[in-house]
Amino acid sequence: MFSPFFLSAKWMIWSWVGGIFILVSTWYQVQLDVEITEWFRLFYDTLQKALTKPNSVTFDEFVLYLLTFGKIAGLWIVIMVITNFFVSHWVFRWRTAMTDRYQMLWGKVKHIEGAAQRVQEDTLKFARIMETLGVGLLDSIMTLFAFVPLLWGLSKQINELPWIGPVSHGLVWVAILAALGGTLLLALVGIKLPGIEFDIQKEEAAYRKELVLGEDNRDRAEIGLLQDLYFQVQRIHYKSYFHYLYFNACKWSYFQGMVIVPYIALAPTIVSGVVTLGFVQQIVRVFGRVESSLQYLVRSWSTIVELISVFKRLQAFEKSISNPQPK
């Protein structure tokens, strides 16, 4: 899965140079996000000043803040669009490298159960999922490198946490513990999902294969067999719905609860009136970015489940290629 793209001389420029380009452009996006976060602090401080003291801020000054945001946000949009466009091409080249290898070996592997699905559908799914998860993971890592030091510095002014008391850099520890706690909780709750997703794809493949065989062979796809195969498809899907029911209940309860966590942590500081509105907005935004990055696995769990299923199928296919069984 990896060697045809990353270790092949044919794809060396695309895989490594392209990967470096994605890395640099993602880092630049994160830096622009940091600038936007700083803008929020200045803007809300100005807004507070304008609302509490009439005519203390001129119309031109206010508009200038908005234009500054437009400039930063516009550049962020341009970089984001170009990066996503390039990533789509980069990942498709990865899929092409995998497909080229499987096509070259087609004469030797076509007898393997589900070979056509592995070559066409699973390489497509693998590429699309890696595009989504890969960019998300890279963005989360870059965001942590940029925002954790920022949150650490801002937390110097937060000397106390409710019900706990004085804690140095308390918001950083709250973000880490809340995110890791949620990740572990949902990983335990959703531990059965990867296996269920794998079984779904297996049952769907068996049903689809019989239908395809029935197109050219009237002795195949007999109604009784199709009903039995579809019953297995129905059974595993119903099982999936049940497990996702309690998983989603836990996931969304956790996400909604986390909305108020930074405000709870800031409560002693806010009620003491020692910080400005701009500072509160900035630190809540920074906290959210750190927390969201640490929650990457939680937020992407459904996609990760699908990736694990696809990876397991392609891995089994690769093993069949490396260790062919007698026909």
SS3 at position 313: helix
What is the predicted pLDDT for the residue at 117? 67
What is the predicted pLDDT for the residue at 294? 79
Asked if residue 75 lies in contact with residue 92, where contact means CB atoms within 8 angstroms, the answer is no
What is the predicted pLDDT for the residue at 215? 78
Instruction: Report the run of H or E that residue 298 belongs to, with start and end.
Output: helix 296-299
pLDDT tens by residue, 142-174: 888 888 888 888 888 777 788 887 788 788 888
Task: Report the percent of the chain where pLDDT is more than 70.
Answer: 95
pTM above 0.75, yes or no: no
What is the predicted pLDDT for the residue at 214? 84
Q: Residue 324 pLDDT > 70, yes or no?
A: no
pLDDT tens by residue, 184-227: 888 888 888 878 887 887 888 888 888 878 877 777 878 888 88
What is the predicted pLDDT for the residue at 21? 93
More confident residue, 200 or 305: 200
What is the mean pLDDT of the segment spanning 21-44? 90
Q: How far is CA 12 from the centre of its chain?
A: 26
To the nearest whole number, what is the mean pLDDT of the chain?
83
The span from the CA of 237 to the CA of 223, in Å, is 21
Residue type for position 194: P
pLDDT tens by residue, 166-184: 788 788 888 888 888 888 8
The span from the CA of 221 to the CA of 212, in Å, is 8
Asked if residue 135 lies in contact with residue 84, where contact means CB atoms within 8 angstroms, the answer is yes
Q: Residue 97 pLDDT > 80, yes or no?
A: yes
What is the mean pLDDT of the segment spanning 10-15? 87
Per domain, the residue ranges of the chain are: 3-322
Helices (H) and strands (E) in the chain, counts: 14, 2
What is the predicted pLDDT for the residue at 217? 78
What is the predicted pLDDT for the residue at 157? 77
CATH C-level class of 3-322 = mainly alpha
Q: What are the contacts of 92-95 at 24+ separation with CB within 8 A?
A: 92/127, 93/5, 93/11, 93/14, 93/15, 93/18, 94/5, 94/11, 94/15, 94/127, 94/130, 95/123, 95/124, 95/126, 95/127
